[in-house]
């Protein structure tokens, strides 16, 4: 596990610095006995809403097979201090493939009371990932004290019917998703990240004064990074 977050030292961008490193949050598992799951089948999945989700699942299945077959697969995380013109990625040291799905809608923290509409067909597609040995992890800027409520929302929606997916939540206001993504990559190889904004992939996007400095990083869209509608929401409008 990572003891502290990596400082975001980007050499080619004179952006404001990210917040100081904070202690890394733990991966929190929801108690599978706490809620009643809705049945879902990993068989023939209905069409999902949004091409991004289909591409995300297909990519994760392909890379997961390659990784477990012994092929070298890079993670979806940028190397700390990488030059923005060269999107180098953290290599995978763990042969267990994993994906991260961001629950937050834009800059707003996920609300298990308000965000209850799931993407059609996504539950079955995530079941296919788990059946293929891919770990599905959920990240949010929500407080870790809301783990039970968030777990319930995922279970009743069918997105995590067994309640066994790791939840990456913050334990104090200073903790950051960047730290949680880095920590997740220590316990599995994060081969793909799904989010509704570029800041869900790396926090550098939240501090760029000029977005054009990071245009070269768009090469990772569809190759580890996937812009998607939130898995649970009331409605969605693209933010990027």
pLDDT for 218-234, tens place per residue?
Answer: 889 999 999 998 898 77
Distance of alpha carbon 158 from alpha carbon 38, whole angstroms:
5
Determine the topology of domain 27-233 in CATH.
Rossmann fold (3.40.50)
User: Looking at residues 105-117, what average pLDDT do you find?
Assistant: 84
Which range has the top average pLDDT, 22-31, 43-52, 154-163?
154-163
User: For 11-45, how does the pLDDT look when each residue is reduced to its tens digit (9 = 90+)?
Assistant: 344 333 444 443 333 343 333 333 223 333 333 33
Computed over every residue of the chain, the mean pLDDT equals 78
pLDDT of 50 reads 58
pLDDT of 85 reads 67
pLDDT of 104 reads 94
pLDDT of 238 reads 54
Q: Domain ranges in the chain?
A: 27-233
User: Looking at residues 128-136, what average pLDDT do you find?
Assistant: 97
pLDDT of 83 reads 64
Percent of the chain with pLDDT over 70: 74
pLDDT of 239 reads 55
Question: Which comes out higher in pLDDT, residue 211 or 175?
Answer: 175
User: Looking at residues 166-182, what average pLDDT do you find?
Assistant: 90
Which residues fall within 8 angstroms of residue 181, CB to CB, at 6 or more apart? 77, 100, 139, 168, 190, 193
With residue 124 as reference, give the H or E element that holds it: helix 122-131
Of 133-137, 223-227, 234-238, the least confident: 234-238
């Amino acid at each position: 596990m990572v003891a502290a977050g990596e400082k975001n030292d980007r050499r080619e961008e004179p952006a404001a610095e990210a917040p100081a490193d904070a202690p890394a949050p733990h991966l929190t598992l929801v108690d599978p006995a706490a809620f009643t799951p809705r049945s879902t089948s990993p068989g023939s999945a209905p069409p999902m809403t949004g091409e991004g989700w289909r591409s995300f699942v297909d990519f994760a299945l392909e890379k997961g097979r390659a990784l477990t077959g012994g092929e070298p697969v890079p993670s979806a995380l940028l190397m700390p201090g990488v030059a923005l013109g060269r999107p180098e990625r953290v290599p995978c040291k763990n042969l267990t493939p994993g994906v991260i799905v961001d629950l937050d809608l834009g800059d707003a923290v996920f609300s298990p009371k308000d965000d209850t509409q799931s993407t059609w067909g996504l539950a079955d597609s995530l079941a296919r990932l788990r059946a293929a040995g891919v770990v599905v992890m959920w990240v949010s800027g929500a407080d870790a004290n809301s783990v039970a409520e968030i777990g319930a929302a995922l279970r009743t929606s069918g997105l995590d019917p067994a309640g066994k997916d790791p939840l990456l939540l913050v334990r104090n206001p200073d903790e950051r998703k960047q730290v949680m993504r880095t920590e997740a990559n220590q316990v599995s190889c994060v081969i793909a990240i799904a989010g509704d904004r570029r800041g869900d992939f790396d926090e550098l996007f939240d501090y760029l004064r000029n977005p054009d400095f990071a245009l070269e990083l768009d090469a990772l869209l569809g190759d580890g990074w996937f812009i998607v509608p939130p898995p649970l929401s009331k409605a969605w409008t693209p933010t990027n």
